[in-house]
């Protein structure tokens, strides 16, 4: 079973990578782009077959290692 963990900086936390991407896109002529936020996606292949247990395990991994919960939020999705 696959778990997909999306990690993003919380609202109000400065995002220098997002600002750099926003600036570069504007320089390339993409003036329609507004604020850009940069995040990360982590795919985990889990041996668990119960979706609820897989999600709980991935959430625990995110809290303990994959996300800095002081400044980042995360969302876990389970795919078969």
Q: Which pLDDT tens digit goes with each residue over 42-55?
A: 999 999 999 999 99
Question: What was the pLDDT predicted at 72?
Answer: 98
pLDDT grade for 80, boundaries at 50, 70 and 90? confident
Q: How far is CA 70 from the centre of its chain?
A: 14
Architecture label for domain 2-79: 2-Layer Sandwich (3.30)
Calculate the alpha carbon distances from 32 to 16, 17, 39 in Å: 20, 19, 21
Distance CA 77, CA 62 (A): 12
Residues 6+ apart with CB under 8 A from 13: 71, 72
Cα dihedral across residues 79, 2, 53, 70: positive or negative: negative
Supply the mean pLDDT for the chain. Answer: 97
Instruction: Please write the tens of the pLDDT for every residue from 21-42.
Output: 999 999 999 999 999 999 999 9
Is the pLDDT assigned to residue 19 strictly greater than 80?
Answer: yes
In the chain, what are the domain boundaries?
Answer: 2-79
8-state DSSP, 75:
E
């Amino acid at each position: 079973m696959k778990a997909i963990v999306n990690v993003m900086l919380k609202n109000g936390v400065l995002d220098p990578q997002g600002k750099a991407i926003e600036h570069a896109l504007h320089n390339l002529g993409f003036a329609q782009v507004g604020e850009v936020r940069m995040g990360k996606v982590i795919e985990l292949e889990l041996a668990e077959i119960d979706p609820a247990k897989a999600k709980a395990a991935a959430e625990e991994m995110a809290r303990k290692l994959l996300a800095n919960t002081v400044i980042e939020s995360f969302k876990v999705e389970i795919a078969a």
